[in-house]
């Protein structure tokens, strides 16, 4: 009877599994062996595979459907070499850790030595200082209030603070609320002789420092007296400070480990800035403040906003009032005039026709994509056969399959090709000319049409029969499809990923040159740092070639600039045009000068979490309507007529979100979950996040918590581990923080730190894609090939993408170690690469400081930088560190099926950018035949519709996976003897059991990774793992104590033997597998003396005094003398302005023959310069003419550099501008096409002047490269 019930229950469970969406499922570990045999028998009859697994000492039976992503027909094997077994045996025999025990017992002491409960490390900074008496400073307060637009609201503000505990102050940034309100409160408390301690929470560290210095300057004090700041790794504060600027993340860190009662006892006011933006840590802080108000009646909470939707804050706190600040009314007050992208295109075209401006609109410019063009323009708009990556045959077959079946899977396959393989969304079949949207319209699939339109597919492209998608929909009579397709307009303009940089530059030129537009300062608001670099490059290039006026100063403003650079941006430069390229931080910074023009790209780039794919990704998206309105009011404080140019279609503005999207809704939540758990240890993370003002999606919270358990930041009961306590002070993703911990322990920090810094930002060698590029398709394919070749060169025939980052950073450092770096432009990719590498350098520096702050590294002793880099030259050790730190991002190549197998919800493929595959798609089994190992560790994933793409991959040995993958706690119950399998059905469905099964065991590392090996190897690996993880736990608990890490410690000596053995063992296994060993990977990086991007901006900008400081290092007295001489010569200088506009200088060109191909003027003999150019070039120098000197050489015949001739301190100088290799034949070819007579470039002509037409052609080839050739 019982047997029948069990059989019926098992059958029902299998039926549920069959009808469900899961590809595999674990069945209860409470089954007895006979019941598991019945389950295996039924699964075998249904055509399913089953396998016996062991997880945490509990036996399960896992059933797999056909084509399951997680099932491997043949279990991977590990066969240790004899030398490896010998090394491990000697280690364990001599180790005091193992002693005479047969097996190490996994007692609680293993995870928490001495049974110490994980505690949050003490923070060396604290905001909980006692309140001090507010002091009057009448002169300083009057100096500030006279210039503050908030002054008319002073009385109302103080009355609201007196009668309400929660106040929302709503108004534009011109009111300087974050500095004015605390000043008023301090003055009021001083008049009442009362104590006060005000905490002002800014959204960026840079703003906290800037505002504290700004107020201290008004008060005539040093920062740290009345006004102070306290942020991560920096603090200037005293016991008498009344106002402390900080950030929300830092304040939450201080609150950790303290009770609400104690935390806010000495705080009188808390001011939270920019709450309307709903940043994640700010929303968490509001939750803490709401709890604090219940315990402290004296506490005042002031929320600063700039939104029309503030009632939700009052509803959240249950009390309070809103104080609305209205912009000051003046007679000349005018609202900003708004222009959208279609207006910008008309302005540029109109000025081009009216004044014949030399605008640079490439063939793919947005101005040529208006849908008013006749349909014939679309017939050949997408090439049908030119695919430089050789994938056209695959795409043709995919389109044919989609037309034949019309299934979702067929469309997803095509969309994967678009996302990852650089196939145009408008790709036309090489024979029929049909696109995917034509096929979808012909079949009348409305859902597929919507999907393709969301990916910006063009419904107006014609096939070979001159029918487009609309024509096919009409033929099918599907009215809903017809209406949807007819409603589409301006496809390129509504794609936030696609930005036409040439259109941005043409608009800037029109504003600066055209007489219709007044001269004024310009601010350009970009999406992120990469976009900022590209815009900066385009403006620099135009100024250098003389396309815009020389009286221009270019500033960059982003979250990571230095404090001194921010001061330059705020103060500006008088008597010239200030161009500020800024991220959204400009909304909180108030310059001392007025912007005449606002160019709002209306985009943002953020890191979002995709719950369906289970991965993080950086995406571009449109900003909210609220952000557009706030940015248009940046210049409203003086009432001048300003113009705001938005690079978004006007019809699309109404479709944008009204308010800012809360970060908790979209961002990865791993650090948020860790912060929440440390703030409230006795509350479930999901429960806490349901009490915030913006609730995070439950699926995102659940996935993040499970991931933190996987990497052992949380334990199985969702309690914080020692690893989680240490990572809270390391400001990166928890997985990358764990990687740094393993790098410290395995003594290879420097190379891993560089890899982590690259993984924390965007890939500098990322393959360009069609969807976010405005280049034509042929050029894009060539660029992808060049990037791929560069990655191969850096990889040095070693199958690791992580090595590419190390080599790239080393080469960049070698080029910049000179104290006087070469200030020259090569091309746009090189300039952007320099900017990204500077950011990587900043991240490295910041991470080292964070690791010191968290006490993971020390200034001296075994945890000093010297000792934790002893094994930085061991590439096998670095790969082992990557496997340990990046787990669970591990996959294995199934050579029998030609697929990657991993524990992910979607199938995993290798990204085309990886060194492990080619640009052209080919079966993985072909490429994998040359792999020395089938195990791959990868850095991140990218969602590609029905697949996930693994990026930043490296091959590792099986021993590395067996040693470091999985949870720290593994004992002998995870070793399963194959001979124990007694059931026929289990034998039949487990084809991985070899003939020598009696001599093999399965080592279960987690619920997915299992490796077959001999019993001896399994015991050696298991005990070595236990040995290592014991040292790992001891390190996490005791790294904060210097005394416990002295070199004389016996435990450290034994651990040192362990690490030395691991280094030798991994090297032996690498050699046995056939891995190639790279050289000189452990070179210690050096500090960068000068930042190229900032220095180059200073060199090219109109502020020549700063340029001399960067370029020639002259003393200040010499500069002042030179300035005096220039002032005496002003009478001889021609008029710089005409009709209120700065005048573009004329150009003249000289050509000089050189014998060296790589000339650097700073290092070249000045005698040669004087002899070559004094007689010809120097007499022609004028103050209002740009004199370009073009250098060329023979064999090969090429132009190699462009410089500008100047006289500095009466001395003739050449300043490098562009450096590249331009074939002379290319110039001669263009001259022939345009019927221009070109001179002879021969060795006999040392230096001579050339015509301006030829000079401009050469200059354009240097400045614009392939873009210029496309136009020609």
DSSP-derived secondary structure for 817-839: -SSS----B--HHHHHHHHHHHH
Least confident of 112-121, 143-152, 190-199: 112-121
Confidence of residue 638 (pLDDT cuts 50, 70, 90): low
Element at 249 (helix H, strand E): helix 248-255
Confidence of residue 1067 (pLDDT cuts 50, 70, 90): very high
The region that residue 642 occupies, defined by phi over 0 for left and psi between -120 and 50 for alpha, beta otherwise, is beta
What's the whole-number average pLDDT of the chain? Answer: 82
Give CA–CA dist 426/429, Å, rounded. 10
Confidence of residue 536 (pLDDT cuts 50, 70, 90): very high
**Total H helices, total E strands in the chain:** 47, 36
Q: Residue 646: which residues within 8 A CB-CB, separation 6 or more?
A: 338, 339, 340, 341, 600, 602, 628, 653
Residue 846's pLDDT is: 93
Place of tokens 């003999």: 1165
Cβ contact 1058:1027 at 8 Å: yes
How do residues 694-716 score in pLDDT, each as one tens digit?
Answer: 999 999 999 999 999 999 999 98
Residue 62's pLDDT is: 81
Residue 826's pLDDT is: 81
Give CA–CA dist 1267/500, Å, rounded. 13
pLDDT at 669 over 90: yes
Nearest Cα to Cα of residue 963 among 893, 1057, 881, 1052: 881
Residue 573's pLDDT is: 87
Residue 492's pLDDT is: 65
Measured over the CA atoms of residue 707, residue 711, residue 713 and residue 718, the dihedral's sign is: positive
Helices 408-420 and 392-405, axial angle in degrees (round to 10)? 160
For the whole model, what pTM was predicted?
0.89
Helix (H, G, I), strand (E, B) or coil at 1099: helix
Least confident of 232-246, 385-399, 1056-1070, 1109-1123: 1109-1123
Confidence of residue 981 (pLDDT cuts 50, 70, 90): very low
- For residue 212, with 0-12 CB atoms within 10 Å meaning exposed, 13-18 middle and 19 or more buried, which class applies? buried
Q: What is the mean pLDDT of residues 537-557?
A: 88
Residue 1127's pLDDT is: 46
The strand ranges marked E within 558-614 are 577-582, 595-600, 603-610
Measured over the CA atoms of residue 363, residue 364, residue 367 and residue 373, the dihedral's sign is: positive
Give CA–CA dist 1244/1228, Å, rounded. 19
pLDDT at 1079 over 50: yes
Helix (H, G, I), strand (E, B) or coil at 1220: strand
- For residue 1070, with 0-12 CB atoms within 10 Å meaning exposed, 13-18 middle and 19 or more buried, which class applies? buried
Place of tokens 């419904």: 459
For residue 246, cis peptide bond before it (omega within 30 degrees of 0) = no
Cβ contact 621:604 at 8 Å: yes
CA atoms within 13 A on the CB side of 109: 4
Residue 778's pLDDT is: 62
Residue 1146's pLDDT is: 82
pLDDT at 8 over 60: yes
781 vs 616, which has greater pLDDT?
616
Q: What is the mean pLDDT of residues 19-45?
A: 75
128 vs 923, which has greater pLDDT?
923
Most confident among 414-428, 452-466, 660-674, 1090-1104 (mean pLDDT): 660-674
Residue 107's pLDDT is: 43
Measured over the CA atoms of residue 968, residue 973, residue 979 and residue 981, the dihedral's sign is: negative
Strands 552-557 and 577-582: parallel
Helix (H, G, I), strand (E, B) or coil at 535: helix
CB atoms closer than 10 angstroms to residue 1046: 11
Measured over the CA atoms of residue 858, residue 860, residue 866 and residue 870, the dihedral's sign is: negative
Q: What is the mean pLDDT of residues 365-370?
A: 33
Least confident of 309-323, 594-608, 899-913, 1142-1156: 1142-1156
Q: Residue 1186: which residues within 8 A CB-CB, separation 6 or more?
A: 546, 550, 1145, 1146, 1147, 1148, 1204
Place of tokens 């500008």: 1204
pLDDT at 986 over 90: no
* Token digits of residue 41: 């028998």
pLDDT at 368 over 60: no
Residue 157's pLDDT is: 93
Nearest Cα to Cα of residue 504 among 392, 416, 452, 579: 579
Q: Residue 976: which residues within 8 A CB-CB, separation 6 or more?
A: 52, 54, 1001, 1002, 1004
Residue 362's pLDDT is: 40
Q: What is the mean pLDDT of residues 1014-1042?
A: 89
Q: What is the mean pLDDT of residues 861-887?
A: 93
- For residue 188, with 0-12 CB atoms within 10 Å meaning exposed, 13-18 middle and 19 or more buried, which class applies? middle
Residue 720's pLDDT is: 94
Whole-number Cα distances in Å, 475 to 30, 333, 378, 472, 1222? 62, 56, 20, 5, 53
Whole-number Cα distances in Å, 162 to 159, 193, 1050? 5, 15, 63
Nearest Cα to Cα of residue 947 among 423, 447, 419: 419
Residue 409's pLDDT is: 87
**To the nearest whole percent, how much of the chain has pLDDT over 70?**
83
210 vs 493, which has greater pLDDT?
210
Q: Which backbone phi and psi does 324 adopt, to 5 degrees?
A: -95, 125
Give CA–CA dist 575/552, Å, rounded. 9
pLDDT at 1165 over 50: no
Least confident of 135-144, 292-301, 532-541, 985-994: 985-994
pLDDT at 966 over 50: yes
Residue 174's pLDDT is: 84
Residue 1134's pLDDT is: 42
Helix (H, G, I), strand (E, B) or coil at 521: strand
Whole-number Cα distances in Å, 1023 to 340, 961, 1058? 67, 15, 12
How do residues 89-135 score in pLDDT, each as one tens digit?
Answer: 998 887 655 443 444 444 444 444 445 788 887 776 666 567 777 77
Q: Residue 778: which residues within 8 A CB-CB, separation 6 or more?
A: 383, 386, 388
Cβ contact 938:946 at 8 Å: no
Give CA–CA dist 673/698, Å, rounded. 12
186 vs 897, which has greater pLDDT?
186
Nearest Cα to Cα of residue 441 among 503, 390, 485: 485
Residue 1120's pLDDT is: 47
Core vs surface per residue 739-769: b (16+ CB within 10 A) or e: bbbbbbbbbbbbbbbbbbbbbbbebbbebbb
Confidence of residue 489 (pLDDT cuts 50, 70, 90): low
Residue 130: DSSP 8-state = P
Give CA–CA dist 326/637, Å, rounded. 11
- Percent helix, strand, coil in the chain, to 5, is 45, 15, 40
Least confident of 294-298, 460-464, 760-764, 990-994: 990-994
Residue 335's pLDDT is: 74
Residue 824's pLDDT is: 80
Give CA–CA dist 898/836, Å, rounded. 36
């Amino acid at each position: 009877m019982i047997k029948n019930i069990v059989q019926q229950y098992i059958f029902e469970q299998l039926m549920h599994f069959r009808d469900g969406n899961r590809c595999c499922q674990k069945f209860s570990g409470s089954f007895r062996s006979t019941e598991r045999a019945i389950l295996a028998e039924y699964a075998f009859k249904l055509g399913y595979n089953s396998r016996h697994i062991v997880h945490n000492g509990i036996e399960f039976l896992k059933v797999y459907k056909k084509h399951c992503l997680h099932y491997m027909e043949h279990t991977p094997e590990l066969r240790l070499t004899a030398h490896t077994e010998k090394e491990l045996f000697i280690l364990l025999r001599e180790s005091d850790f193992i002693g005479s025990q047969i097996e190490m017992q996994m007692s609680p002491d293993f995870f928490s030595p001495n049974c110490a409960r994980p505690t949050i490390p003490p923070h060396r900074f604290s905001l909980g200082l006692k309140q001090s008496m507010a002091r009057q400073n009448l002169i300083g307060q009057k100096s500030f209030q006279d210039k503050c637009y908030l002054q008319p609201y002073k009385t109302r503000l103080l009355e609201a603070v007196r009668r309400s505990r929660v106040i929302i102050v709503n108004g534009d940034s011109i009111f300087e609320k974050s500095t004015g309100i605390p000043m008023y409160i301090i003055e009021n408390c001083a008049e009442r002789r009362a104590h006060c301690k005000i905490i002002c929470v800014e959204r960026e560290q840079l703003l906290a420092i800037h505002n504290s210095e700004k107020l201290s300057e008004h008060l005539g004090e040093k920062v740290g007296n009345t006004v102070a700041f306290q942020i991560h790794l920096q603090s200037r504060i005293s016991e008498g400070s009344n106002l402390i600027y900080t950030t929300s993340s830092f304040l939450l860190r201080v609150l950790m480990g303290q009770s609400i009662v104690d935390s806010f006892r000495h705080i009188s006011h808390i001011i939270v800035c920019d709450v309307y933006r709903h940043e994640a840590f700010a929303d968490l802080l509001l939750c803490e403040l709401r709890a604090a108000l219940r315990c402290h009646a004296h506490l005042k909470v002031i929320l600063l906003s700039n939104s029309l939707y503030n009632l939700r804050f009052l509803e959240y706190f249950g009390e309070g009032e809103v104080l609305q600040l209205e912009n000051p009314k003046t007679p000349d007050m005018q609202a900003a005039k708004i222009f959208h992208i279609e207006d910008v295109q008309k302005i540029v075209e109109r000025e081009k026709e009216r004044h014949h401006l030399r605008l640079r609109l490439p063939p793919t410019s947005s101005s040529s994509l208006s849908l008013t063009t006749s349909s014939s323009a679309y017939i050949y708009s997408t090439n049908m056969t030119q695919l430089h990556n050789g994938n056209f045959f695959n795409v043709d077959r995919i389109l044919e399959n989609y037309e034949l079946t019309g299934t979702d899977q067929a469309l997803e396959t095509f969309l994967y090709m678009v996302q990852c393989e650089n196939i145009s969304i408008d790709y036309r079949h090489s024979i029929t000319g049909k696109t995917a949207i034509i096929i979808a319209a012909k079949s009348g699939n409305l859902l597929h049409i919507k999907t393709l339109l969301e990916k910006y597919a063009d419904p107006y492209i014609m096939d070979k029969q001159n029918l487009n998608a609309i024509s096919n929909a009409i033929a099918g009579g599907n009215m809903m499809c017809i209406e949807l397709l007819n409603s589409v307009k301006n496809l390129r303009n509504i794609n936030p990923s696609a930005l036409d940089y040439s259109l941005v530059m043409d608009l800037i030129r029109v504003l600066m040159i055209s007489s219709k537009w007044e001269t004024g300062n310009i601010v350009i608001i970009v999406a992120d740092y990469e976009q900022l670099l590209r815009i900066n490059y385009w403006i620099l290039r135009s100024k250098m070639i003389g396309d815009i006026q020389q009286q221009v100063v270019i500033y960059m403003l982003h979250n990571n600039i230095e404090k001194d650079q921010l001061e330059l941006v705020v103060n500006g430069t008088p008597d010239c045009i200030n161009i500020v390229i800024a991220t959204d931080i400009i909304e909180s910074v108030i310059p001392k000068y007025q912007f005449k023009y606002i160019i709002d790209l209306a985009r943002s780039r953020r890191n979002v979490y995709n719950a369906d794919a289970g991965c993080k990704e950086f995406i571009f998206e449109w900003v909210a309507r609220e952000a557009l309105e706030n940015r248009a009011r940046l210049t409203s404080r003086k009432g001048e007529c300003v113009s705001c140019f938005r690079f978004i279609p006007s019809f699309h503005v109404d479709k944008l979100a009204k308010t800012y999207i809360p970060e908790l809704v979209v961002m990865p939540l791993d650090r948020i979950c860790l912060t929440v758990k440390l703030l409230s240890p006795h509350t479930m993370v999901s429960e806490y996040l349901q009490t915030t003002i913006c609730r995070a999606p439950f699926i995102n919270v659940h996935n993040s918590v499970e991931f933190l358990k996987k990497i052992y930041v949380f334990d199985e009961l969702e309690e914080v581990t020692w690893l989680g306590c240490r990572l809270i002070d390391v400001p990166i993703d928890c997985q990358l923080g764990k990687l740094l911990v393993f790098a410290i322990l395995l003594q290879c920090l420097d190379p891993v730190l560089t890899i982590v810094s690259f993984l924390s930002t965007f890939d500098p060698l990322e393959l360009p894609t069609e969807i976010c590029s405005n280049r034509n398709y042929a050029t894009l394919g060539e660029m992808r090939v060049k990037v791929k070749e560069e990655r191969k060169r850096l990889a040095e025939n070693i199958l690791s993408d992580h090595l590419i980052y190390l080599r790239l950073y080393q080469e960049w450092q070698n080029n910049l170690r000179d104290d006087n770096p070469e200030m020259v432009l090569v091309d746009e990719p090189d300039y952007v690469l320099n900017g990204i590498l500077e950011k990587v350098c900043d991240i490295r520096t910041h991470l080292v400081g964070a690791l010191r702050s968290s006490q993971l590294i020390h200034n001296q002793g075994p945890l000093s930088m010297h000792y934790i880099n002893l094994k930085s030259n061991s590439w096998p050790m670095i790969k082992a560190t990557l496997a340990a730190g990046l787990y669970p991002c591990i996959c294995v190549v199934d050579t029998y099926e030609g697929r990657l197998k991993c524990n992910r919800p979607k199938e995993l493929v290798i990204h085309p950018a990886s060194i492990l595959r080619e640009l052209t798609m080919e079966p993985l089994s072909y490429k994998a035949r040359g792999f020395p190992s089938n195990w791959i560790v990868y850095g991140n994933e990218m969602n590609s519709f029905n697949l996930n793409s693994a990026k930043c991959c490296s091959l590792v040995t099986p021993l590395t996976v067996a040693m470091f993958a999985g949870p720290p706690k593994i004992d002998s119950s995870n070793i399963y003897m194959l001979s124990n399998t007694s059931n026929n059905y289990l034998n039949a469905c487990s084809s991985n059991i070899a003939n020598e099964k009696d001599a093999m065991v399965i080592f279960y590392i987690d619920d997915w990774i299992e490796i077959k090996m001999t019993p001896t190897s399994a015991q050696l690996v298991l005990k070595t793992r236990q040995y290592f993880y014991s040292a790992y736990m001891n390190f996490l608990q005791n790294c904060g104590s210097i005394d416990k890490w002295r070199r004389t410690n016996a435990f450290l000596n034994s651990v040192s033997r362990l690490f030395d053995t691991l280094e030798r063992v991994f090297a032996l296994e690498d050699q046995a597998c056939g891995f190639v060993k790279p050289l000189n990977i452990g070179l210690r990086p050096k500090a960068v003396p000068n930042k190229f991007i900032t220095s180059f901006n200073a060199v090219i900008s109109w502020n020549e005094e700063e340029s001399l400081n960067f370029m020639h290092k002259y003393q200040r007295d010499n500069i002042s003398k030179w300035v005096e001489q220039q002032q005496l010569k002003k009478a001889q200088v021609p008029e710089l302005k005409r009709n209120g506009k700065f005048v573009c200088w004329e150009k003249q060109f000289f050509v000089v023959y050189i014998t060296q191909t790589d000339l650097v003027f700073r290092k070249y003999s000045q005698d040669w310069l004087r002899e070559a150019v004094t007689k010809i070039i120097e007499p022609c120098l004028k103050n209002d003419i740009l004199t370009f000197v073009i250098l060329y050489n023979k064999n090969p015949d090429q132009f190699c550099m462009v410089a500008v001739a100047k006289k500095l301190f009466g001395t003739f100088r050449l300043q490098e501008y562009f450096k590249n290799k331009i074939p002379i034949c290319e110039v001669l070819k263009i001259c022939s096409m345009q019927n221009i007579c070109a001179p002879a470039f021969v060795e006999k002509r040392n230096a001579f002047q050339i015509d301006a037409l030829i000079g401009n052609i050469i200059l354009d080839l240097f400045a614009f490269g392939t873009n210029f050739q496309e136009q020609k």
